[in-house]
Amino acid sequence: MALGLMTMLYFLIVYALIPVLALMS
C-alpha cells in the first residue's frame, strides 16, 4: 500500500519536473 503511494507520488513529481527542466534548459 505505502509502496504504491510512494511510487505514484514519485511519478507525479517527475511529471511535474519534466516541463520545468525543459524550460530551464
b/e sequence 1-25, b meaning 16+ C-beta within 10 Å: eeeeeeeeeeeeeeeeeeeeeeeee
Pinpoint the alpha helices (H) of the chain: 2-24
pLDDT tens digits, the chain, 25 residues: what are they? 799 999 999 999 999 999 999 999 8
Q: How far apart are CA 20 and CA 25, in angstroms?
A: 9
Q: How far apart are CA 9 and CA 17, in angstroms?
A: 12
Q: What is the pLDDT of residue 7?
A: 97
